[in-house]
Amino acid sequence: MKQEKRPLIGVTASFYPNENNPPLSPQSVNRDYVLGVIKAGGMPVIIPAMWETELIEAYAEQLDGLMVPGGEDVDPKYYGQEPHEKLGRLSPIRDHTEITLIRKMAELGKPIFGICRGMQVINVALGGDMIQDIPSAIENCLKHVGDMQYRSKPMHSVALTPGSRVHGIFGKDEIQVNTFHHQAIDRLAEGFEVTGRSPEGIAEAFENAQAKIWGVQWHPENMVEAYPEFLGLFQSFVNDCK
């Protein structure tokens, strides 16, 4: 029996410069992102970080959808702010790749799903801005950086907006999530709405329902094995891409 054609899902890679031996600078995508796409019925295509804008846009033409994973902080120059003293590691080549790719995919009307940094860079690429360091901006905030060794461990609740995509996926008003971020989206890009919030009001999910562009601030790829309902996020995205 002929298998159903799987949609091609771009997954952007992290770039780690090797200053002592540049040819050995690695690019990689964490295992669970790839597994999430495969389990949901997609065919992952790892997109390397690069400066060649025409090639990045050529990828966008070929792909059925784009998933933007977690990683470094987004350079505040893209949203008109000076760097905060608590700003973390930046990746200029990755910023260029993802922002170019997101804008082109959006122009082509193709689905985009962001996870953690991915949600943030979608917002920045399409005109929003950021809280550069949550503890510096919000007094008595929750802990948003969990135990890196126990990636699936829930750390706080997220209230979901009735009628939103994420509410429909989980079928409940509140869920428990893991968390590994010190930044968060602030001013929203045009057309987006926040559809999940932490107890102190941090945006934990957002969507542009008309454009099929959305994201979550936690790491569902690390929760799927222990909490299978989180695979529903990947399935919803891959279904958009078919």
Q: Cβ contacts of residue 187 below 8 Å, gap of 6+? A: 128, 129
Q: In this predicted model, what pLDDT tens digit does every residue of 1-50 receive, in sequence order?
A: 567 899 999 999 999 999 999 999 999 999 999 999 999 999 999 999 99
Q: In this predicted model, what pLDDT tens digit does every residue of 200-210 receive, in sequence order?
A: 999 999 999 99
Q: Residue 65: pLDDT band by 50, 70, 90 thresholds?
A: very high
Q: Classify domain 8-241 at the CATH class level.
A: alpha beta
Q: In this predicted model, what pLDDT tens digit does every residue of 89-120 receive, in sequence order?
A: 999 999 999 999 999 999 999 999 999 999 99
DSSP 8-state code for residue 193: E
Q: Are 131 and 74 in contact (CB under 8 A)?
A: no
Q: Are 218 and 151 in contact (CB under 8 A)?
A: no
Closest by CA to 205, choosing from 162, 148, 238, is 162
* pTM of the predicted protein model: 0.95
Give residue 2's pLDDT.
62
DSSP 8-state code for residue 83: P
